[in-house]
Amino acid sequence: MTHPTTLITGVTQGMGRALALDLAPRGGTLLLHGRNAGRLEAVAAEARAAGPGTTVRTYLADLSDLDQVHAMAARIRADEPYLDGLIHNAVAGGGARPLVRELSAQGHELRFAVNHLAPYALTRALLPLLTASAPARVVNVASIGQQTIDFDDVMTEREYEGLLAYCRSKLAMIMATFELGAELEGTGVTVNALHPAHLMDTPGVRAYGLTPVTTTADGVRPTVRLLLDPQLAGVTGRYFDRFTETRAHEQAYDTEARERLMKLTHELVGAV
């Protein structure tokens, strides 16, 4: 089983590249996103070689800039007749200088912007295409690393640390997954999140100074399962630790917290 058209964000390294090379031999159309043109085209060439019968197209955008996110979504809506798979893999990790607080183009904390605002904005902007292509699946690559969101300091301006900001942003992604899953019930579009593998061997893990304990292949398998497994048809609004559905951080089940997060998110990304 394969999706005719799947978009993967952040394919130029790490698990994104591994996902592209895993899906390429399966046929259909692969839409590959990256923010570095040279590296993006190199992975696209690898994908075409791995799947000669697969159509591969590329989309360039910096997800730390919401204007570029919206522009990429507009290009995809204009160019692509179908979209029934969307994997949000692009990530800003803890960073090589975790005590240096970085900002997005719009002035938001970088990890919150890349790991939560960008995927939510992109999904929201592509919903017309996803629903028209249904059944369709959205897979949010989250993390077992989750920390309580402080609504008095959502952008982590106090006592900043990169991994803390990362963990808060991944919880925000999961909370948005639950909200979208409920909203889209009955549309044929499912939205799920997962922790793919623990400390994969990726540039982001190494940049923060952590020692990898798994490979990107370990993360690819459960991610692709959420995208393709027929037994998961209709399953939505769930969080998985690899192959097992499990509970996320307790704040993810606080309906008031989710409402506060989504109100802020809609204000920041311009969604309704």
The full length of the chain comes to 272
Catalytic, out of 59, 120, 166, 239 = 166
Integer Cα distance of 196 and 144 in angstroms: 9
Helices (H) and strands (E) in the chain, counts: 9, 8
Any idea what the Cα angle at residue 27 is, between residues 234 and 128, rounded to 5°? 45
Integer Cα distance of 129 and 90 in angstroms: 21
Integer Cα distance of 29 and 6 in angstroms: 6
Q: Give the torsion sign (CA, 187, 236, 204, 118).
A: positive
- With H, G, I as helix, E, B as strand and everything else as coil, classify residue 7: strand
Annotation marks residue 166 as catalytic: yes
Residue 38 belongs to what H/E stretch?
helix 37-50
- Residue partners of 124: CB distance under 8 A and separation at least 6: 269, 271
DSSP 8-state class, residue 107: S
Complete DSSP assignment for 11-35? -SSHHHHHHHHHHGGG-SEEEEEES
Burial of residue 37 (CB within 10 Å: 0-12, 13-18, 19+) is: exposed
Residues labelled as active-site residues: 166
